[in-house]
Amino acid sequence: MSDNPQDTPAIELIALKKTYAATKKAEAKTALHGIDLTIPRGSIFGLLGPNGAGKSTAINILAGLVNKTSGTARIMGYDIDAQTRQARASIGIVPQEIAMDVFFTPFQALELQAGYYGVPKSERRSEEILAALGLSDKRDAYVRQLSGGMKRRLLIAKALVHNPPVLILDEPTAGVDIELRRQLWAYVQELHERGTTIILTTHYLEEAEALCDRIAIIHEGRIVANESKDSLLSRMDKRMLVITPTETLTSMPPALSGLDAQIDDGNLVITYQKGSDSVTGLLNQVKDAGLSIADLRTDQPDLEDIFLQLTYGSDVAT
């Protein structure tokens, strides 16, 4: 769709800032503090962050639903201010909320959307898109008769009618059952293989892990990580061994000072590297230090821990 060079990123955000104006009820809120983010073409990119981090704000700016305060945003090289029409045509957005006109059939909904984007009748692919999303047999049903999962697939279908090179999925599988989730993942992967750049926001680390090749973490309106999935996951190779001694621990036994360990609530929490440290070896060291073990478990840091680590510089085990 774009005649821009192949190396033009799919998305470029430069010093992108958004401050929502104060209202009678709320103070002004800066949702994005001048973020820089480049999303390469052809990637499946995860934009992760806790509630209120600023993900929807960033997406809504790209979609033209929210006006930025300052900075630059480009989609396939097209500036959203100077080349609005081309920028809009380059992106498809699957929204979080299922708000659809329930009086149309899926086929009609796609045709209307195609009309909205000015796709000529001869170039419409409504049947093909319905088939790809497993909705052919619901072609002429009313949208209100579709299940939640089918409505979600129809939202994806609607975002695809103008064949955008960039597709943004905002929490695509929130509240979706495992089977449908896997189906949606498979379809996202298929689109990716056909060359579509996919951007995904999700709360589910598992989803990002399964699909994304790069991940950015946004926290309180700032990008706190932006790297390949593998590099981010390697940070998570840390595990915690939580040992409850028979007698509550009040100070660290000197024999354990060489370990990456803390005392937490009377428990001994040892952080270790999955794969390279032996749990048996650690347990032997604990026994040799004279502790007897009443109970133990292993914990695995989750995205929350990574946020904490990245944002506050605190240790995973604290």
| β-pair partners for 311 | none
Helix H segments across 90-244? 106-116, 126-132, 148-160, 178-193, 205-211, 229-235
Q: Any contact of residue 301 with ligand ATP (CB under 6 A)?
A: no
Residues 6 or more apart whose CB falls under 8 angstroms from that of 209 comprise 229, 233
Q: Indicate the residue whose CB is closest to ligand ATP.
A: 56
**Identity of the residue, 65 or 293, whose beta carbon is nearer to ligand ATP in the bound complex:** 65
- In angstroms, rounded to a whole number, what is the distance separating the alpha carbons of residues 218 and 226? 9
SS3 of 264-310: the string is ECCEEEEEEECCCCCHHHHHHHHHHCCCCEEEEEEECCCHHHHHHHH
Among 14, 15, 36, 52, binds ligand ATP (CB under 6 A): 52
DSSP-derived 3-state class of residue 117 = coil
Nearest distance from residue 275's CB to ligand ATP, in Å?
32
- Residue 207 · residue 185 · CB < 8 Å: yes
Q: Any contact of residue 16 with ligand ATP (CB under 6 A)?
A: no
Among 2, 56, 86, 202, binds ligand ATP (CB under 6 A): 56
**Which range in 53-61, 150-158, 183-191, 270-278 contacts ligand ATP by CB under 6 A?**
53-61
Element (H, E) at 60: helix 55-63
Give the Cβ contact number of residue 282 at 10 Å: 18
**Which range in 49-57, 75-83, 156-164, 264-272 contacts ligand ATP by CB under 6 A?**
49-57
Among 9, 46, 49, 301, binds ligand ATP (CB under 6 A): 49
Nearest distance from residue 61's CB to ligand ATP, in Å?
10
Among 55, 68, 74, 152, binds ligand ATP (CB under 6 A): 55
Q: Any contact of residue 226 with ligand ATP (CB under 6 A)?
A: no
Give the Cβ contact number of residue 70 at 10 Å: 11
**Identity of the residue, 48 or 110, whose beta carbon is nearer to ligand ATP in the bound complex:** 48
Q: Per-residue x/- mask for ligand ATP, residues 20 to 39, rule CB under 6 A?
A: x--------x-x--------
**Identity of the residue, 20 or 185, whose beta carbon is nearer to ligand ATP in the bound complex:** 20
